[in-house]
Amino acid sequence: MSAGFWLQYLVALAVVALMLGGLYAVVRGLARGRLIASADRRLVSVLESTVLSQHAALHVVKAGGKYLLIGASNGGGVTTLGELPAEEVEAWLAQQRSMFSSQQASLIDAFKYLRGKR
């Protein structure tokens, strides 16, 4: 086996190690709530987006205390389509946070298992 083979092998191992380190950092950030909690502190944030076609999309935007349904297209710009009831959106957000918390706990448990810390 040549020196070139071992160099490629070590580079591949380094890339995998960096990817695992990055994934670990993301999981730690999620566990501490840093990546998601920041959206709650913003005055304006996009909560959900759905692509309707190649050139059009719908967005649910929180601006201040209001939840707006926004339409966006390449040719027509951005249009406010209406305001959504806060109760419905907040109930949906609570459901999403609860689902995320259970998924986050499962991922953290999987990492603990892999690290041998059951």
Q: How far is CA 5 from the centre of its chain?
A: 38
Q: How far is CA 96 from the centre of its chain?
A: 12
pLDDT at position 81 is 92
The answer to the question of residue 51 being in a domain is yes
The type of residue at 79 is T
- Chain segment 47-64, per-residue pLDDT in tens: 888 899 989 999 989 888
Domain range enclosing 92: 43-115
Largest CA distance in the chain: 67
The answer to the question of residue 59 being in a domain is yes
CA trace torsion 85, 91, 97, 98 (10° rounding): -170
Counted domains in the chain: 2
HSE toward the beta carbon, residue 47, CA cutoff 13 A: 25
Q: Which residues of the chain have pLDDT under 70?
A: 1, 30-41, 101-105, 117-118
The answer to the question of residue 79 being in a domain is yes
Q: Determine the Cα–Cα distance for residues 14 and 37; give it in Å rounded to an integer.
A: 32
Same domain, 61 and 97: yes
Q: Determine the Cα–Cα distance for residues 111 and 106; give it in Å rounded to an integer.
A: 9
